Amino acid sequence: MDFITLFVPLRLKILIMDLQLEIKRRRTFAVIAHPDAGKTTLTEKLLLFGGAIHTAGAVRSNKIRKTATSDFMEIERQRGISVATAVMQFEYHGIKINILDTPGHEDFAEDTYRTLSAVDSVIIVIDGAKGVETQTLKLMNVCRMRKTPVIVFINKLDRESKDPFDLLDEIEKKLQIKVHPLTFPINMGSRFKGVYNLFDRKLNLFYSENKQTLDFETVEFTDLTSVELEKYIGDDAEKLRSDVELLDGVYAGFNIDEYLQAKVAPVFFGSAVNNFGIKELLDCFIQIAPHPQKTLTDIREVDPFEEKMTGFVFKIHANMDPNHRDRVAFLKICSGIFERNRAYTHVALGRQLKFSSPNTFMADKKTVIDFAFPGDIVGLHDTGNFKIGDTVTEGEIINFQGIPSFSPENFRYIENADPMKFKQLAKGIDHLMDEGVAQLFTSRFNGRKIIGTVGMLQFDVIQYRLEHEYGAKCKYEPLNLYKACWIKSDNATQLADFMKRKHTNMATDRHGRNVYLADTAFALQSAQTNFSDIKFYFTSEF
Ligand code: G4P
């Protein structure tokens, strides 16, 4: 027996002993927000505190800007950069933190929904002046569906904001979750003095001239009645005393279990661009946020502490180089230890695959790793084997759940614009659908192919990528539809009747399942009323 064969199993044995420890010290989460609330800024500041980056700007480059709605070339450029920032890993006080990046642009909301399937908790950023916005609501609905614990960070207190009590009420009502402020702001805008930490009973003082410092002055302040308070925050002392009295009355004792059960959201106030309030957020986060949790499959729940490796692909990223059609598949490890060069089962393909250069990501660089633990995200070099949602195991035939496609709301017929490139077009469309860029339906009425997307930008992205990566040309024809939804029924007669009556609106998805293409909200509503034995599904997983 040579040295390697002796050495590797021994090393693995030690790692298995470490498995428990490694799982318990991991936190995998995403920062979500309505565009412009400060997600990119906060992410960057978390990385700064974690020592993963040393200058501002490293994450910013990944941002798909609002102004880019028609400028998808810019998106293509940024897509390249975002491979590196898709997952950002850093260590803070012995805790290994994996931040999963989510696209800022709302046309890519579906990417965000899928990323949420791979996290154990989220931080929601809210702009203090704007309060709860539409995208925040949608994302929160997904978190609620998945019972993901959330922490709220109310940002931009250095600007004129809504009244903090009103904000707390608004969050509670609109996001439908009880809130529990753990810090509270002292004034706002140009009069912003800092926050009072209700948990540690400390005063964190804000001086706007100290913009880029990471250490703000913190004063222990258990007795707010002390006249010393005036020394620090002047006229605002009286208001803080009455605010804290009120808060102590309304929000008694923070209960971590309620947070972990997604019943209560702790709330922090601060200013990301000024690094203010981030340390409190991060310190609390590492204490309360959950380590990797159980994940549901079609057969059973997988516990991260199980020794056998399991994982699923939640994101696929195409290579930017048009000469190489390879991609990166992002595998979330759900249990056991992932090892480089070990053969794993790709459940959907029923094949064994080995990965010789799996990557992890650290801000702007990627590194080849030998092992990865539950909660980690591993980038796998892929030549077309993976689809979103694919499960990888040590042989067990299970499929992880909770990575659905959402019913699209924008539709176009897609046609081949270059008859010589039919094969390339078919292959390109197939690959792009595997990546989850859009969904492909075939009309049962006329056999034409229909592309359905969540955002309008995807149409441009598809056309551009087909041409530049596959050498194929497509053209679109408008199609006015309201929504696509999957239908199923135990009442075969009613289903047959429905499909006959609606035959011009029936299609199949890539898996041959029945899809109803509703023209209008009214048509959908009356279909639901008139065909009560038919179930209409708005995500592909049912
Ligand atoms: P997003 O990823 O959620 O879309 O938001 P992002 O972090 O890019 O922040 C949006 C804008 O808000 C940025 O300004 C950013 O500098 C600003 N911002 C973030 N946090 C704060 C804060 O605490 N206070 C104030 N006053 N502004 C904040 P921008 O002008 O769009 O970009 P830039 O020129 O600053 O890069």
207-228 pLDDT, tens digit per residue, is 765 455 556 677 777 788 888 8
Give residue 370 CA to ligand 1 midpoint distance, Å: 38
Convert 44-82 to b/e letters by CB count within 10 Å (16 or more is b).
Answer: bbbbbbbebbeeeebbeebbbeeebbeebeebbebbebb
Rounded to the nearest angstrom, the distance between the alpha carbon of 485 and the centre of ligand 1 is 37
pLDDT of residue 38: 92
- Distances in whole angstroms, Cα of residue 181 to Cα of each of 80, 90, 143, 353: 38, 27, 19, 48
Tell me the residue ranges of DSSP E strands in 336-398.
338-339, 343-346, 351-354, 359-362, 365-368, 371-372, 377-382, 391-393
Beta strands in 128-275 (DSSP E): 150-155, 178-181, 183-186, 194-197, 202-205, 217-220, 264-269
| Ligand 1 in reach of 34 Cβ (< 6 A) | no
273 CB under 6 A from ligand 1?
yes
* SS3 (DSSP) at 392: strand
Output the pLDDT for position 211. 52
Class of residue 364 by CB neighbours under 10 A (exposed 0-12, middle 13-18, buried 19+):
middle
Residue at token pair 């850093």: 90
pLDDT at position 317: 82
204 beta partners: 195, 218
Q: What is the pTM of this model?
A: 0.86
Q: Is ligand 1 within 6 A of the CB of residue 102?
A: no
**Most ligand 1 atoms within 8 A of CB, residue of 46, 273, 276 to mutate:** 273
Residue 60 is given by DSSP the state: G
Ligand 1 centroid – CA 41 distance (Å)? 6
Residue whose token pair is 């400028």: 71
Question: Which parts of the chain sit beneath pLDDT 70?
Answer: 1-17, 53-85, 104, 208-216, 319-325, 362-365, 542
Measured in Å, residue 416 CA sits from the centre of ligand 1 at: 42
Atom of ligand 1 nearest to the CA of 276: 23
**Residue 231: which of 214, 217, 245, 212 has the closest Cα?**
217
- Cα of 93 vs centre of ligand 1, distance in Å, is 27
Tell me how far apart the alpha carbons of residues 102 and 30 are, in angstroms, rounded to a whole number: 7
Can you read off the two tokens belonging to residue 458? 């995807």
Q: According to the model, what pLDDT value does residue 82 have?
A: 55
For 280, half-sphere exposure in the C-beta direction (CA atoms, 13 angstrom radius) is 34
Element (H, E) at 517: strand 514-518
Instruction: Report helix, strand or coil for 175.
Output: coil
- Would you state the structure tokens that stand for residue 58, as one six-digit string? 């490293």
**Cα 501 to Cα 531: distance, rounded to the nearest angstrom:** 11
The pLDDT of residue 70: 41
Nearest to 410 by CA among 142, 115, 79, 109: 109
Atom of ligand 1 lying closest to residue 274 CA: 23
Q: Report the pLDDT value the prediction gives residue 202, as an integer from 0 to 100.
A: 87
Instruction: Say what the pLDDT of residue 231 is.
Output: 86
Ligand 1 atom nearest 43 alpha carbon = 7
Q: With contact defined as beta carbons under 8 Å apart, do 482 and 536 qualify? A: no
What is the per-residue pLDDT for 366? 72
For 416-482, the DSSP string reads ES-GGGHHHHHHHHHHHHHTTS-EEEEETTT--EEEEESSTHHHHHHHHHHHHHH---EEEEE---S
Instruction: Check residue 44 and give its pLDDT.
Output: 87
Strand spans (E) along 288-370? 295-296, 301-302, 310-318, 327-335, 338-339, 343-346, 351-354, 359-362, 365-368
Q: What sign does the dihedral 302-304-310-316 (CA atoms) show? A: positive
Tokens 């598809």 correspond to 462
Question: Ligand 1 atom 31: the closest Cα is on which residue?
Answer: 36
Q: Domains along the chain?
A: 27-288 (3.40.50.300), 295-393 (3.40.50.300), 410-537 (3.30.70.3280)
